[in-house]
């Protein structure tokens, strides 16, 4: 009996992203941990010192999670029904516990933009009622409260690099500067004409901070002057801004655009990126400054190289993204979404990888044993044949169970992820002459499954020759039952629509091809005429020259 040969599955080039070092690196983040908050998460900020806590601001509360140890959260609680007043509490959570360990702050209304100071000891946050509160991480009560935004929500709050001043921006269109030791306002800039919703401070100059507004502008302020020192028009409502560590480049996000500006050249636009198809809401840099991350309402996080500004990788999430942050050592990426879900991904520490690589290697002689042996004439070479393991559909084909073999390749893992295997088995059944019998005798559910697969894949050029034959057989076998099942009728209509659209596309392509052939022929004719005229003129001049001589 002849040995059975497994079905040959034709290999097609895979369409999609090219595997690069960036792809391997960013895929190294482990399966995400999801934490449910009570509102849309609009700000995430990591503490710059170990254990790298991070503060998370959700619409009605601020939370802070420790990368390895602790978590801060601010939640609104009901105080008394008659006055309808609320307060927010900052809680410290253990790494695996969801119960608060410590409480040390309160707000009357929603909190925004919780931001750590560079030393990780203080935390500042704005609020809906227009006040700014300053907290000591190791304490319980707020250290300072700053009022001055005319009872409008404060969505921007952060520290200048000198650590003793706070900048803020609110819905009253103003950008203010506050003195921490004195607890007073230093200066107020009222140059924006719409809500101020984002900002950042320079790491190089302790007097410079930046705010972005819904009036489409980004303004650079200097605490030593009474007005802004630079205005940049982003062209869309500005959702996020950040400065490179050097302080020379500024990145703004708003609308579908991420734009990079050269501050040292007066705000010259260097590059405009349009890789999202919905509003870009947040920006962040990795620790080396070589990768820029942007999150958007289109549910994607794009990662750009800061040398070429090309997308090197992309993350896809379940819901629209409002905020994102990377830990100082790039070991954790945290994404906040509109549905209140906090998505946390961790990388394995490099130390563990090094330990796993320090396994005892075999001795050198183990590798070289037998390498120098020269075969002799009387030696016999015995090779052990490799054991061939047949897949389920090959075993069924080997036993001539055609219908069951087709069922095996119509199962979801194969049908959805490796459709070329399904088509290869159909082609093998057609070669054997048993495809018609394998398709016949099926119930409503199985017919629906077959038609769904064919209607979806028949327009792919790599599968069209085989699936057109399959579709023709299915139509021929089951046309007597048309009208008896609404589900089957619907799938036949989808198949007809898919094939009809493909025919229309092919006709349009043929028309375009005909027009292009006409244009090319016209260009060729003009070129030949031009060359012929030049040759005739050249001959005429040569004859005239000879005659004159």
pLDDT tens per residue, range 327-372: 888 888 989 898 888 888 888 765 444 454 555 666 656 656 666 6
The answer to whether residue 474 scores a pLDDT higher than 80 is yes
Residue 441 DSSP class = S
Which range (47-51, 83-87, 148-152, 304-308) has the least confidence?
Answer: 83-87
Please state, for a pLDDT cut of 90, what percent of the chain lies above it: 34
335: left (phi over 0), alpha (psi -120 to 50) or beta: beta
Distance separating alpha carbons of residues 127 and 156, to the nearest angstrom: 9
* pLDDT of amino acid 372: 66
The answer to whether residue 535 scores a pLDDT higher than 60 is yes
Distance separating alpha carbons of residues 196 and 492, to the nearest angstrom: 55
Distance separating alpha carbons of residues 373 and 311, to the nearest angstrom: 53
The answer to whether residue 66 scores a pLDDT higher than 50 is no
* pLDDT of amino acid 86: 40
Which range (82-86, 91-95, 208-212, 544-548) has the least confidence?
Answer: 82-86
- Tokens linked to 542: 């040569």
Domain ranges in the chain are: 21-347, 392-503
* pLDDT of amino acid 481: 83
Distance separating alpha carbons of residues 176 and 156, to the nearest angstrom: 10
* Count of beta carbons in the 10 Å neighbourhood of residue 413: 9
Give the angle subtended at the CA of 322 by the CAs of 318 and 323, to the nearest 5°.
Answer: 105
The values of phi and psi at residue 73, to 5°, are -145, 145
Distance separating alpha carbons of residues 190 and 169, to the nearest angstrom: 10
* pLDDT of amino acid 364: 59
* pLDDT of amino acid 176: 92
Q: For domain 21-347, give its CATH number from 3.40.50.300, 2.130.10.10, 2.40.37.10, 3.40.30.10.
A: 2.130.10.10
pLDDT band with cut points at 50, 70 and 90 for residue 91: very low
* Count of beta carbons in the 10 Å neighbourhood of residue 203: 15
Helices (H), 358-391: 364-368
Confirm if 271 and 259 have CB atoms less than 8 A apart. yes
Radius of gyration of the chain (CA): 34
* pLDDT of amino acid 259: 95
Question: Which strands form 100-103's sheet, in the order they lie side by side?
Answer: 41-46, 53-58, 61-66, 70-80, 85-94, 100-103
The model's pLDDT over 195-239, given as tens digits with 9 standing for 90+, comes to 999 999 999 999 999 999 999 999 999 999 889 999 999 999 999
The answer to whether residue 65 scores a pLDDT higher than 50 is no
* Mean pLDDT value across the chain: 81
Average pLDDT over residues 49-56: 80
Confirm if 311 and 295 have CB atoms less than 8 A apart. no
The model's pLDDT over 250-262, given as tens digits with 9 standing for 90+, comes to 999 999 999 999 9
pLDDT band with cut points at 50, 70 and 90 for residue 531: low
Distance separating alpha carbons of residues 48 and 267, to the nearest angstrom: 29
The answer to whether residue 536 scores a pLDDT higher than 80 is no
The values of phi and psi at residue 265, to 5°, are -105, 25
* Count of beta carbons in the 10 Å neighbourhood of residue 235: 15
Query: pTM of this prediction?
Result: 0.62
* pLDDT of amino acid 305: 93
DSSP 3-state helix, strand, coil percentages of the chain (rounded to 5)? 30, 35, 40
The model's pLDDT over 398-446, given as tens digits with 9 standing for 90+, comes to 999 999 999 999 998 888 888 999 999 999 999 999 999 999 988 888 8
* pLDDT of amino acid 100: 47
pLDDT band with cut points at 50, 70 and 90 for residue 158: very high
Highest mean pLDDT among 5-19, 67-81, 281-295, 452-466 belongs to 281-295
- Tokens linked to 194: 């719409």
Determine whether 75 is exposed, middle or buried from the number of CB atoms within 10 Å of its CB (0-12, 13-18, 19+).
buried
């Amino acid at each position: 009996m002849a040995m059975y040969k497994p079905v040959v599955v034709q290999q097609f080039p895979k369409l999609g992203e090219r595997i690069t070092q960036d792809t391997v690196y960013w895929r190294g983040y482990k399966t995400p941990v999801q934490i449910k908050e009570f509102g849309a998460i609009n700000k995430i900020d990591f503490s710059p010192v170990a254990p790298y806590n991070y503060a998370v601001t959700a619409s009605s509360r601020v939370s802070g999670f420790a990368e390895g140890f602790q978590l801060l959260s601010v939640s609104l609680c009901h105080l008394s029904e008659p006055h309808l007043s609320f307060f927010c509490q900052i809680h410290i959570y253990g790494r695996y516990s969801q119960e608060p360990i410590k409480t040390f702050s309160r707000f009357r209304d929603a909190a925004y933009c919780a931001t750590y100071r560079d030393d990780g000891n203080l935390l500042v946050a704005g609020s809906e009622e227009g006040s700014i509160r300053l907290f000591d991480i190791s304490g319980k009560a707020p250290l300072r409260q700053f009022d001055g935004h005319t009872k409008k929500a404060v969505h921007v709050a952060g520290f200048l690099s000198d650590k003793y001043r706070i900048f803020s921006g609110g819905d009253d269109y103003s950008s203010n500067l506050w003195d921490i030791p004195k607890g007073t306002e230093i200066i107020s800039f009222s140059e924006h004409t719409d809500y101020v919703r984002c900002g950042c401070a320079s790491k190089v100059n302790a007097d410079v901070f930046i705010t972005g507004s819904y009036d489409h502008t980004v303004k650079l302020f200097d605490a030593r002057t009474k007005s802004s020192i630079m205005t940049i028009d982003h062209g869309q409502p500005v959702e996020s801004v950040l400065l490179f560590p050097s302080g020379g480049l500024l990145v703004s996000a708003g609308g579908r655009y991420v734009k990079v500006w050269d501050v040292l050249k007066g705000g010259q636009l260097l590059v405009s990126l349009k890789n999202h198809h919905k509003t870009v809401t947040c920006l962040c840099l990795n620790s080396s400054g070589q990768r820029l991350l942007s999150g958007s309402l289109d549910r994607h996080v794009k990662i750009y190289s800061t040398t070429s500004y090309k997308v090197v990788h992309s993350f896809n999430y379940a819901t629209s993204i409002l905020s994102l942050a990377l830990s100082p050592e790039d070991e954790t990426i945290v994404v906040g979404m509109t549905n209140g879900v906090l998505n946390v991904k961790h990388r394995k520490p490099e130390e563990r990888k090094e330990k796993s690589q320090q396994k005892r290697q075999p001795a050198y002689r183990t590798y070289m044993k037998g390498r120098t042996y020269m075969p002799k004439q009387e030696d016999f070479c015995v090779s052990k044949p490799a054991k061939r393991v047949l897949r389920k559909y090959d075993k069924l084909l080997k036993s001539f169970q055609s219908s069951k073999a087709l069922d095996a390749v119509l199962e979801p893992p194969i049908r959805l992820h490796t459709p070329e295997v399904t088509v290869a088995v159909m082609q093998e059944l057609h070669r054997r002459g048993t495809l018609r019998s394998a398709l016949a005798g099926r119930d409503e559910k199985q017919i629906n499954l077959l038609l769904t697969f064919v209607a979806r894949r028949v327009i792919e050029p790599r599968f069209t020759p085989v699936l057109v034959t399959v579709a023709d057989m299915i139509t021929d076998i089951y046309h007597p039952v048309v009208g008896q099942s609404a589900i089957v009728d619907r799938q036949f209509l989808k198949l007809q629509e898919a094939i009809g659209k493909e025919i229309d596309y092919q006709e349009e392509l043929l028309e375009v091809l005909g027009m292009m052939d006409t244009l090319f022929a016209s260009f060729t004719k003009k070129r030949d005429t031009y060359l012929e005229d030049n040759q005739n003129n050249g001959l005429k001049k040569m004859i005239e020259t000879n005659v004159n001589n």
